[in-house]
Amino acid sequence: MDYSIARRRMVEKQIRAKGITDPLVLDAMLQVPRHLFVEEAFWDQAYGDFPLPIGEKQTISQPFTVAAMTEALQLSGVERVLEIGTGSGYQTAILAQIVSKLYSLERLPDLARKARRILDSIGCAQVHIRVSDGTCGWEEAAPFDAIIVTAGAPSVPSDYLSQLSIGGRLVVPVGGRDKQVLRRVSRLGEQDYVEEELQDCRFVPLIGRFGWREGA
């Protein structure tokens, strides 16, 4: 299978055809070899428009969702970005094509370790990955111009709001344990935040101090 052809088809049919226009996002989706972020048994399905299992009951998000969330961050390349939920590292790799100041948090050490290995192997060594409860953000590396959360939260953890720089954007799925609405929060001033609802989505739960309880 020629993965670069599969990737081009994915970008045309599932990403551009469904309304994603940001050239930085489209180019990043063309560059990153998505199949490397799943087990070899799934390589032939890696460019389909659906999530796939990555172990530990977690999933790599569907390509369109990754593109839509990245576009919603409105990145130009100079931003300092925080991602919560490294998972397979695929969304991280997409962000790494666009920005160089990138921080990513994952609560499960094995997933973080695997993601680190793949990211290093495809030239994304600049990404900082830490294993911790991402519901508290990454205080020492804040503030961030963009924060992206790739797990569903019951409500917006307040540390994300305080760690967002003025002018920055937070994209986070908020709602029930298995179904959420993608929300974008823009910080306009010290105490001035504007919220928009972007689309329905389904993410695995954000588990932690300011998220869901494990196994509940």
Binding interface with ligand SAH (CB under 6 A): 54, 58-61, 84-85, 87-88, 90-91, 105-108, 111, 133-135, 150-151, 204, 206-208, 211
Is 61 a catalytic site residue?
A: yes
Nearer to ligand SAH, 151 or 185 (CB): 151
Nearer to ligand SAH, 22 or 133 (CB): 133
The least distance separating ligand SAH from the CB of residue 175, rounded to whole angstroms, comes to: 15
The least distance separating ligand SAH from the CB of residue 133, rounded to whole angstroms, comes to: 5
The least distance separating ligand SAH from the CB of residue 189, rounded to whole angstroms, comes to: 28
Query: Taking the CB of residue 149, how many other CB atoms lie within 10 A of it?
Result: 28
Q: Which of 162, 146, 68 is nearest to 104 (CA)?
A: 146
The least distance separating ligand SAH from the CB of residue 67, rounded to whole angstroms, comes to: 12
Residue nearest to ligand SAH (CB): 87
Q: Which of 62, 83, 81 is nearest to 20 (CA)?
A: 62
Beta strands 58-60 and 180-189, pairing class: unpaired
Nearer to ligand SAH, 91 or 180 (CB): 91
Nearer to ligand SAH, 134 or 168 (CB): 134
The least distance separating ligand SAH from the CB of residue 167, rounded to whole angstroms, comes to: 24
Beta strands 80-84 and 52-55, pairing class: unpaired
Q: What are phi and psi of 15, to 5 degrees?
A: -115, -65
Nearer to ligand SAH, 123 or 167 (CB): 123
Given the residues 61, 100, 132, 165, the one annotated as active site:
61
Query: Taking the CB of residue 55, how many other CB atoms lie within 10 A of it?
Result: 14
- Catalytic residue list: 61
